[in-house]
Structures are given as structure tokens and as C-alpha cells.
Structure 1
Amino acid sequence: MSAIAALPFLPDAVIFDMDGLMIDSERVSIACWSQAAQELGLPIEDGFWLRLVGLGDRDCERLLLQHIEAGQVAALFARCHDLYEARTHAGLPLRPGILELLQLLREHDIPRAVATSTRQPRASRKLAASGLLAFFDVVVTSSDVAHPKPAPDIYLLAARKLGKEPARCLALEDSPAGIRAAVGAGMTAIQVPDLVHPDEDLRALGHRIVGSLVDAHALLLPHLR
């Protein structure tokens, strides 16, 4: 594996995706989609659910409508929502290295925001239940923008709420849709793939790709000594 390029500067702010990056929730989400589809007798193959990772509700609906009818999509969303709420009520596991990274940024007074495709109030509930909410100055969700990821709106709004230039912000993402959003916003982006790994088209964006949040932590350290 080739060496990861050093970060060009100490970021003025760091903006985090939530699901799959900080919280180990994508596997739970896919399991809920699959269970809901099976209960409703919908003819959707299990491999399809990976296509929904990182997308907002509208884009998920658009993809589902290619396979099932509108009424079935509504029923699927409702059942999946109930299953997901039941499984996430007590909080979800954290991805390795996230607490150490957030503590490092807080110790150095680097502002932090969340930019997530999850809508409110679920986003804040998940962050609070996982013990992460207090680490962030700003939480921006797909409820706050007209166009969710892969559009750059969420990241641009997060930077604006922090009072920082997008070009001076670092974005951390796991999904292809999130990376396209962050790069489209003009930010330096690091991808920590979870369930969906970057293909050649995504790699052509030129962002940094690392194996874990521990690796992302290591990229920041030279600027903090």
C-alpha cells in the first residue's frame, strides 16, 4: 500500500459524518432494511441494501422505487424505522478510535461539527445515546438542507455554522456519497471505508483513504506537536 499523503495544514475545523464513521450503525441499518423487506414479502436481494449506505431518505426512496411500488416503499420505511428505533434506543457501539480523536481535537480547541444524512431528531438521539453529542459545537442533518449527500450542502452549512472557510476544513467520511459531498464542498477529505469500499471512480477524486480513525488521528498529529 502506498503511503498516505500528509495533511497540508492544521484544519480550522473538523467535520464528521456519523453513521459508519463514528457509530457502528450501518450494519444495524442494513439488517433492519432486510428484516423489514422479508416481513413484508418484498422481492429485494440482500446485496441491494449496500447501495443505500450514506444516502438520505429521498435518494433511498428513489432507488427503492426502481424495484417496488410506492405503497410498498412507504410500508418498508415505516417497518424499518420501527425496527431501527428498537435496536438503537440504548445506543450503538462506537467505531475504534473515535473517542481518542475527538478528545485530541477538544484538547487543542479545534472546532468540531457533525454532517449526517440522518434526519432530526434521530441524529441527536443517536449522538446522545452513544455519548458523542457533547463533543460537537454544531450538528447539521439532512433535515437542514434542500439537497442531501452527495450534494455538498450539508458540509457547506456545517462550515458556515462554525464560521470557517470550507477550504480550511477537514471532513471525515466512510461512504462514497459522503466523500463526494465533502470534496464537492471544497474540503480536504479523509475516507475511512466501512461496508462500502471506494471504486476507481471515487479514488479519482484524489482524497485520502485510510484503514481506521486511528490512521486519521496519526495524520493530524504532526500539526499538533
Structure 2
Amino acid sequence: MNGKEAEDYIIRTEEPFRMELLDLVGGAVFDLDGTLVDSMPFHIAAWQETLREYDLAVSPEWLMNHGGIPSYVIAEMLTAERSSPAGETVFPNPRELARIKTANYRRRIHEIRVFPEMLAVLGYLKDRGVPIAVGTGTQRENAETIISETVLCDYICTVVSEADIRKPKPDPETFLMAAERIGVPPESCAVFEDSPTGIAAALKGNFRTVQVVAGLPRAVINFRQPGNLGGISQSVGVL
């Protein structure tokens, strides 16, 4: 599924995020890049630096739309879509291309910071004893480096990375595995995501979903409940 197809899959809602909606969940799974941490500019810069060697420019919008997808899968997409006039690929093999991009990314990984607004969400969940996992398409080493070197280490119980799964987002396997590890069924678990691909994965897995935009939780999707609890609205509307 490409970014446009993932975007079309999403059930849109006008229901804004409110912190008290999290009282409805028993667990939470957070995407990492672009959701918890402001790392997408670093990924974009690393891809652009890598591809510049091959005289190719890829727009930031294209890369943002493919957020949450492992680097080797993006490399496969790039190598499949572009070839020389003679029909030969203009890139090294996808794994090598992803390796070069990752090396460029890791040079600046220590500069990555957590979105302040997401820390408030993490604190709200932790104060209520809600277990928290990360479900990311990034490499485990990168995810663990970011978590260990930031305050995220005080909140995260477990990490599911691209090394743990067979089917990346928009397949829900990443989030389903994370929910299983924290012992919470999908329908009782909230997924926080910024990318269309990741939101599609969460909805396919029957998770309550929070759309994050520029580090801000903006809207809720699939936050159904049987009645009105404490003034919280019943159901997410659909556009």
C-alpha cells in the first residue's frame, strides 16, 4: 500500500483529542519517528544526502508520506521505480542503499529531541498505570539509542522494531505484537501515529487511534464507547 492508498483508508474524524479520552484505554503503543521524537527531519536529510550521490532528489513530502516504513523497504521502492535508460538500476541493492542512509542518519541521532507535548501524554498515562510500548519501523539499534538517551526511558516498557516483524506497516503486525507484549487487547489499546501508513496499520488492527501532527495529538479515531462517561462524547464522528 502506498501513501495515497493508506491516506484513503483512514476514517477521518472531527473529534479533537482530549487527554481525558485516554481514561478509556488500558494500554498505549507509540510510533517513534515523527510521533514521540522530532526525528523526521533527520531521516529526510539522511535520505537526501544518500540519494544526492546518485543525482536524484526525492521530495520531503514523499518521504513524510512513507514515514513508519523501514528504510530497506523505502530503498526497494526507490530502486524499483528508477532505472537508467538501458534498464539498469541506478542504485546499489536495496539493503546497501538502506545501510548508507542509516549510517548518514546515525551521525546525528544524538541531536534528536522528544516532542514536549508528547511528554505530557506519556506522563498522564504513566500516572494512571497504563503500560506503554513503542512500535516502530526503524532499526532496533536506532530506537534503543533514542530511547536510552532521552527521558523516554522512564516511560517505555518494550520496543517492537523492524527486526521483530515480518510485515511492516501498513500491516498491523507491529502494533499487534506491541499490544501483546504489554498484555492489552487491541480494542482496549491506543496507538499514537503521525503517518498515513501507520494510522492505516492501527485501524486495520482495530486499535483506538490518535493522530499526531507535528508532535501534537490532534484527533482521535475509533474511540468508541457504550455510553457517555464523565462527559466524554460517545463516538468519533466520520467525515
Task: Give the aligned residue type for 2:145.
Answer: R
1:119 alignment partner, one of 128, 132, 139: 139
1:178-193, aligned counterparts within 5 Å?
A: 178-193=198-213
Structure 1 unaligned runs (5+)?
Answer: 195-210
Alpha-carbon contact 2:136-2:162 (below 8 Å) kept: yes
Which residue of structure 2 lines up, in the alignment, with residue 201 of structure 1?
Answer: none
- TM, length-normalised to structure 2: 0.75
| Matched residue count | 202
1:126-141, aligned counterparts within 5 Å?
A: 126-141=146-161
User: Residues 3 and 182 from structure 1, CA distance in 2 versus in 1: closer, same or farther, beyond 3 angstroms?
Assistant: closer
Q: Does 1:165 align with 2:185?
A: yes
- Structure 2 CA distance for aligned equivalents of residues 14 and 75 of structure 1: 34
Q: Does 1:46 align with 2:59?
A: yes
Alpha-carbon contact 1:192-1:212 (below 8 Å) kept: yes
Q: Does 1:83 align with 2:104?
A: yes
User: Residues 8 and 36 from structure 1, CA distance in 2 versus in 1: closer, same or farther, beyond 3 angstroms?
Assistant: closer
Q: Deviations over 1:152-205 (max 9, x none)?
A: 0011111111111110001110001110111111101011134xxxxxxxxxxx
Q: Deviations over 1:27-69 (max 9, x none)?
A: 111011111211x133233354334322123431231111252
Q: Deviations over 1:82-103 (max 9, x none)?
A: 2211111x24122131212111
Identity of matched residues, %: 25
- TM, length-normalised to structure 1: 0.79
User: Residues 186 and 9 from structure 1, CA distance in 2 versus in 1: closer, same or farther, beyond 3 angstroms?
Assistant: farther
Which residue of structure 2 lines up, in the alignment, with residue 30 of structure 1?
Answer: 44
Alpha-carbon contact 1:14-1:110 (below 8 Å) kept: yes
Which residue of structure 1 lines up, in the alignment, with residue 121 of structure 2?
Answer: 101
Which residue of structure 2 lines up, in the alignment, with residue 205 of structure 1?
Answer: none
Larger displacement relative to structure 2 (160-169 or 66-75): 66-75
Q: Does 1:213 align with 2:217?
A: yes
Q: Deviations over 1:128-155 (max 9, x none)?
A: 1222123111211111111011100011
Distance apart, 1:74 and its partner CA: 4.7
Task: Give the aligned residue type for 2:119.
Answer: L
User: Residues 50 and 77 from structure 1, CA distance in 2 versus in 1: closer, same or farther, beyond 3 angstroms?
Assistant: same
Larger displacement relative to structure 2 (17-26 or 122-131): 122-131
Q: How much is the aligned-residue C-alpha RMSD, in angstroms? A: 2.8
* Higher RCO by CA contacts (8 Å cutoff, separation 6 or greater): 2
Structure 2 unaligned runs (5+)?
Answer: 1-12, 84-88, 224-229, 233-239
Task: Give the aligned residue type for 2:75.
Answer: E
- Structure 2 CA distance for aligned equivalents of residues 168 and 151 of structure 1: 19
Task: Give the aligned residue type for 1:213.
Answer: P
Larger displacement relative to structure 2 (49-58 or 78-87): 49-58
User: Residues 81 and 5 from structure 1, CA distance in 2 versus in 1: closer, same or farther, beyond 3 angstroms?
Assistant: closer
User: Residues 43 and 25 from structure 1, CA distance in 2 versus in 1: closer, same or farther, beyond 3 angstroms?
Assistant: same
Task: Give the aligned residue type for 2:126.
Answer: R
The structure with more radius of gyration: 2
3-state SS of paired residue (1:182): helix
Alpha-carbon contact 2:135-2:159 (below 8 Å) kept: yes
- Structure 2 CA distance for aligned equivalents of residues 32 and 129 of structure 1: 20
